[in-house]
């Protein structure tokens, strides 16, 4: 092989293959895999094309193909408009993004060519674009909420503390047995939250590094998350608690249910814009592709 380096942790090549070797074989479009993702059966001694067990070039190899693909051919029905005219732009932008440098998976769930889908029935089809950690929202809100919660729990700056009866009081109240004594309960839990947050920040720093190395997250996402981890690791208890919330949010955005709910939201958003899109030359540069 000697042409491309292999990363054993992510199980991927570090650079893309030079050619898409078989137009009709979807595995060829993942240019970061080795021998159409089937190293047990095929080899690639030349570095240009995969070969079958007999040592001869596989008949699937049709020579170098520049990735200029008519995507409408592969996704003939537009799930949004039941028209083929706009189809290429959405799918093409999604898949071109995959071809250019990311190993993330875009699973398209839509009507098949043979199905006769019209009107209301078409609404049942969803765009299921599952991209790990890409959906924004939860990380930010939970991170901020965590930091505010810690401040409410025990803060000399804002003059608040919370007893074990979960009532928020001002610092001038002395506390009693029901509240766990002045500061004691609040201080204890505030410190614990800080330590857990620090742990999350450390874990997150190395986890994000690994995800980025495997090409699973964008540079923007990595920069955002690592900034939060730096704040968590070096920002004392406030930073650690913010990082605690951020990491929980990040794990939530990893879940498929969250991703699907975000996809559903944009699906209905696009549906509501459908009429204006049909009457214009607008090309879908969808928010989900950002």
Partner 1 sequence: MFSVIYYKYYLFYKRVLKEKDPYITAVLSFSFAQSLLINAILKMVLAYFYCLSYGKWGGIGIVIFLIFINYIFYIRKKNGQRIVEAAPEIFGSHVLSVLLTVIFTCVAISFMFYGADWEIYMLEKCGSSPWEIF
Instruction: Work out whether strand 168-170 and strand 160-162 pair parallel, antiparallel, or are unpaired.
Output: antiparallel
Contact status: 282 vs partner 1 (CB under 8 A) = no
Contact status: 235 vs partner 1 (CB under 8 A) = yes
Contact status: 229 vs partner 1 (CB under 8 A) = yes
The values of phi and psi at residue 142, to 5°, are -70, -40
Separation in Å, CA 276 to CA 122, 205, 267: 18, 44, 15
The residue (of 8 and 59) whose beta carbon lies closer to partner 1 is: 8
The residue (of 52 and 199) whose beta carbon lies closer to partner 1 is: 199
Q: In what order do the strands lie in the sheet containing 160-162?
A: 154-155, 160-162, 168-170
Instruction: Work out whether strand 168-170 and strand 6-7 pair parallel, antiparallel, or are unpaired.
Output: unpaired
The residue (of 30 and 243) whose beta carbon lies closer to partner 1 is: 243
- Give the H or E element holding residue 187: helix 184-213
The answer to whether residues 21 and 30 touch, using CB atoms and an 8 Å cutoff, is no
Contact status: 191 vs partner 1 (CB under 8 A) = yes
The answer to whether residues 107 and 130 touch, using CB atoms and an 8 Å cutoff, is yes
Q: How many residues bind partner 1 (CB under 8 A)?
A: 31
Residues in the chain: 290
Contact status: 222 vs partner 1 (CB under 8 A) = yes
Among 237, 241, 262, 288, binds partner 1 (CB under 8 A): 237
Contact status: 185 vs partner 1 (CB under 8 A) = no
Contact status: 213 vs partner 1 (CB under 8 A) = yes
Contact status: 193 vs partner 1 (CB under 8 A) = no
Nearest alpha-carbon partner for 19 in 62, 67, 64: 64
Residue 289, Cα to own-chain centre: how many angstroms?
Answer: 11
Give the range of 79-87, 144-152, 163-171, 218-226 binding partner 1 by CB under 8 A: 218-226
Give the range of 1-9, 65-73, 106-114, 259-267 binding partner 1 by CB under 8 A: 1-9
Contact status: 212 vs partner 1 (CB under 8 A) = yes
Structure tokens at 90: 């959405």
The residue (of 79 and 239) whose beta carbon lies closer to partner 1 is: 239
Q: Cβ of 279: how many Cβ atoms within 10 Å?
A: 8
**Interatomic CA distance for residues 148 and 193, integer angstroms:** 12
Contact status: 9 vs partner 1 (CB under 8 A) = yes
Min dist CB 240 to partner 1, Å, is 9
Stretch 139-178 residues interacting with partner 1 (CB under 8 A): 156
- Give the H or E element holding residue 110: none
**Interatomic CA distance for residues 237 and 240, integer angstroms:** 5
Min dist CB 205 to partner 1, Å, is 5
Contact status: 223 vs partner 1 (CB under 8 A) = yes
Contact status: 103 vs partner 1 (CB under 8 A) = no
The residue (of 35 and 201) whose beta carbon lies closer to partner 1 is: 201
Q: Cβ of 185: how many Cβ atoms within 10 Å?
A: 20
Among 158, 173, 234, 282, binds partner 1 (CB under 8 A): 234
Residue ranges that bind partner 1, judged by CB under 8 A? 5, 7-9, 14-15, 156, 187, 191, 198, 201-203, 205-207, 209-210, 212-213, 222-223, 226, 229-230, 233-238
């Amino acid at each position: 092989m000697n042409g491309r380096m292999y990363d054993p942790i992510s199980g991927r090549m570090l650079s893309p293959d030079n050619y898409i070797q078989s137009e009709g074989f979807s595995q060829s479009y993942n240019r970061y895999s080795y021998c159409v993702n089937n190293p047990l059966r095929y080899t690639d001694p030349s570095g240009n094309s995969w070969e079958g067990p007999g040592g001869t070039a596989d008949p699937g190899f049709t020579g170098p193909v520049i990735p200029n693909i008519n995507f409408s051919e592969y996704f003939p029905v537009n799930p949004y408009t039941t028209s083929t005219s706009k189809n290429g732009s959405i799918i093409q932008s999604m898949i071109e993004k995959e071809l250019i440098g990311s190993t993330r998976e875009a699973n398209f769930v839509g009507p098949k060519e043979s199905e006769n889908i019209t009107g209301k029935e078409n609404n049942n089809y969803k765009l299921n674009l599952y991209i790990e950690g890409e959906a924004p929202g939860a990380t930010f809100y939970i991170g901020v909420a965590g930091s505010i919660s810690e401040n409410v729990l025990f803060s000399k700056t804002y003059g608040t503390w919370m007893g074990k009866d979960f009532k928020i009081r001002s610092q001038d109240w002395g506390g009693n047995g029901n509240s766990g004594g002045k500061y004691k309960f609040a201080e204890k839990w505030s410190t614990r939250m800080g330590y857990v947050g620090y742990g999350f920040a450390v874990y997150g720093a190395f986890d994000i590094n690994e995800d980025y190395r495997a090409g699973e997250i964008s540079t923007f996402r990595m920069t955002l998350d690592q900034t939060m981890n730096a704040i968590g690791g070096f920002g004392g208890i406030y930073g650690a608690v913010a990082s605690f919330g951020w990491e929980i949010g990040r794990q939530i955005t990893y879940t498929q249910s969250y991703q699907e709910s975000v996809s559903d939201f944009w699906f209905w958003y696009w549906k509501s814009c459908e009429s204006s899109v049909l009457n214009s030359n607008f090309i879908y540069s969808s928010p989900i592709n950002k």
